[in-house]
Structure 1
Amino acid sequence: MKEIRTEDAVGHILCHDITQIIKDKKKGVLFSKGHIVKEEDIPLLLSVGKEHLFVWEKKEGILHENEGADILYKICAGPSMHGTDVKEGKIELVADTDGVLKIRRDALLAVNSLGEMMIASRHGDFPVKKGDKLAGTRIIPLVIEKEKMDKAVEAAGPDPIFSILPYQFKKVGIVTTGSEVKKGLIQDTFTPVLKDKLAEYPTEVIGQTTPGDDKAQITADILAFIDQGADMVICSGGMSVDPDDRTPGGIRDTGARVVTYGAPVLPGAMLLIAYYEKDGKRIPILGLPGCVMYAKRTVFDLVLPRIMADDEIFAEEVAAYGEGGLCLNCKVCTFPNCGFGK
């Protein structure tokens, strides 16, 4: 930066804030760091005693914070999101659609490890809505070396750090197990909960069956829904390790690939996730434990958004739920704006 006469500063960029104090009326920033001085600014600057200013001196290989911010934004933003206007080296990313936020975490860490720049985001693998703020970026100093921004581009790689997987419409079949439900001994209170949660997404429930505890019938009902065009099958109940709980075996007997039976999440430890392959299509089959019926938030709330966005779930990702997998059952639930599942 260099010091120049205020009268000669038109077109230059301020390297520091200019404060204006008017007794009993005002105390605040008159012009912010990074402001480009205009002709009409000169009288105001002189009125606050600024006869000289420190301004940015343009040099080869040195970028202004706003130029660096634009580069940072470009390595961050994927489709279905936009950036806010750049201001003081800052740009925020905003969602243009509902879906699941995906983050290339290795790239995010690599860029943030470079220093003099930062990217802060909400948690990935969670649902976002159109208009939600996804991330904020900033160049820390007023100017930054172009070479450093080139390193950021290299560290991030060719793909955007952030992307949104939009939800896909799904036809859903529900298989309600348990002889007590089949025989009408108890009221089915599980299905209404499922339908309420599914209604938050683009879904159509194409049917419900009550095969009791007949493992072969559970298998047959799942396969029948798939033959009817179901994009997802949910089995409710009978997920414990007791000998008379037949749901896990019924799911396995379909020939589906079981990703996990069990999750380090409370409520929801007995979750089963499987995928059935048909005609090149991957159809999720879920075995849901009974806690989904009565607990406000469970493992189902963690996996359902990803399934609705066709985001394949892997066993190691479920295992990672262990840290943050304990729901605290707060009196006022703020999920997903809490630590559950993160």
Structure 2
Amino acid sequence: MEKIRVEDAVGAVLMHDMTQIIPGQSKGPRFRKGHIVKEEDIPVLLSMGKEHIYVWNQAKGLIHEDEAAERLAKAVAGPGLTFSETKEGKVNLLAEYDGLLYASEEGILALNSIENVVLATLHNHRPVKKGEKIAGTRVVPLMVEGEVVLEAERIAHEFSEPILQIRALRSHKIGIVTTGSEVYHGRIEDKFGPVLRKKAEKLGSVIIEQSFADDDVSMIQAKIRELIGQGAEMIFVTGGMSVDPDDLTPTAIRSMGADLVTYGAPVLPGAMFLLSYLDGIPVMGLPGCVMYSRTTVFDLVVTRLLAGEKLTRQDIVKYGHGGLCLECPECTYPHCPFGK
């Protein structure tokens, strides 16, 4: 940084914003940081009371904050991300398409542990829309040692996956098995199916068939196999998820040879959730709260499955921190702490 006379500043790069005040008319930045001073700017600067200004002195080994921010953004960005215009030393990372944000908490911590580096992001596994801002990056000083940026780039490239990426949700063919004698025998109307159809459509998938089963293990199993035979790539089993004697869904799924990931989740609502895989196909047992609560454990898990993840019990257990829904009168998910 160098202090020079305004008259000698033509061609120099401003180091900070310069505010112009016109009484009764306006107050705001007249020249932005990074502006290259032109001949016609000299009288304006003098009228603003500026006889000396700070300009960028291109010292060896230092790089401007704009270049640093651009390099940091490129270092952390993976598929599905694009960049905003560089402005005032900051670059925003934007979702290139709808999907699920994957943010490496270890990577974010590693970069922010470097002095003068800033990377701020949204929470991991957040659903995002095309054009949504998901992160911002910059360095703290106006000029930074090039070695700082080189270290950040090196660390970012050490991770097997990009520090930030958007994974699109793949369209799946989904089958529903609705259990319960009260629905099977027509004593009450099924309310679960319409809810799941609406959720599936919103996520870009399609319900290919909904079958109904009595409280009978063999019948539940047969309906699941029939749907898989019809090409279902994911199965939702509704009803029969509590500990009542007639609630047999967990027993049916377990005994048909499915690999059980979890029966139970540290999430409210959704504690009685079940996740398993049958020949690689996700089979979920959905508790009643999925039918009447706006957002549950189902919404947290299904997006990750549609993004191509194969979840483990540890993945489900981690939801305990942030797994309490506040049940707000007006649901704002994902703009809330749930699942974070």
| TM superposition score normalised by structure 1 | 0.95
Give the aligned partner of residue 21 of structure 2.
21
- Segments ≥4 residues shifted beyond 3 Å: none
Q: In the aligned structure 1, how far is the partner of 2:15 from the partner of 2:26?
A: 23
Q: In the aligned structure 1, how far is the partner of 2:283 from the partner of 2:36?
A: 59
Residue 249 of structure 1, aligned match among 243, 248, 251:
251
Give the aligned partner of residue 38 of structure 2.
38
Q: In the aligned structure 2, how far is the partner of 1:331 from the partner of 1:168?
A: 31
Give the aligned partner of residue 335 of structure 1.
333
Q: Deviations over 1:199-218 (max 9, x none)?
A: 10222212111121111221
Give the aligned partner of residue 191 of structure 2.
189
Work out whether 1:147 is the aligned partner of 2:147.
Answer: yes
Specify the code of the residue in structure 2 equivalent to 1:16: H
Which structure 2 residues correspond to residues 189-268 of structure 1 after superposition, within 5 A?
189-268=191-270
Q: In the aligned structure 2, how far is the partner of 1:161 from the partner of 1:180?
A: 49
Q: In the aligned structure 2, how far is the partner of 1:129 from the partner of 1:26?
A: 36
Give 1:44 deviation, angstroms. 0.9
Q: Deviations over 1:219-263 (max 9, x none)?
A: 121122112211100000111123321101111223221111111
Give the aligned partner of residue 286 of structure 2.
288
Q: In the aligned structure 1, how far is the partner of 2:13 from the partner of 2:322?
A: 46
Specify the code of the residue in structure 2 equivalent to 1:332: E
Give the aligned partner of residue 133 of structure 1.
133
Residues 222 and 254 in structure 1, CA contact (< 8 A), matched pair in contact too: no
Give the aligned partner of residue 162 of structure 1.
164
Q: In the aligned structure 2, how far is the partner of 1:132 from the partner of 1:270?
A: 33
Give the aligned partner of residue 58 of structure 1.
58
Deviates more, 1:120-129 or 1:157-166: 157-166
- What fraction of aligned residue pairs are identical, expressed as a percent? 51
Unaligned 5+ residue runs, structure 1?
none
Give 1:28 deviation, angstroms. 2.3
Residues 258 and 274 in structure 1, CA contact (< 8 A), matched pair in contact too: yes
Give 1:80 deviation, angstroms. 2.0
Residues 97 and 130 in structure 1, CA contact (< 8 A), matched pair in contact too: yes
Work out whether 1:272 is the aligned partner of 2:274.
Answer: yes
Query: Secondary structure of the residue that 1:39 maps to in structure 2?
Result: coil
Give the aligned partner of residue 47 of structure 1.
47
Residues 126 and 305 in structure 1, CA contact (< 8 A), matched pair in contact too: no
Unaligned 5+ residue runs, structure 2?
none
Q: CA RMSD in A?
A: 1.4
Specify the code of the residue in structure 1 equivalent to 2:58: K
Give 1:303 deviation, angstroms. 1.2
Specify the code of the residue in structure 2 equivalent to 1:74: K
| TM superposition score normalised by structure 2 | 0.95
Q: In the aligned structure 2, how far is the partner of 1:153 from the partner of 1:332?
A: 42
Query: Between Structure 1 and Structure 2, how many residues are aligned?
Result: 338
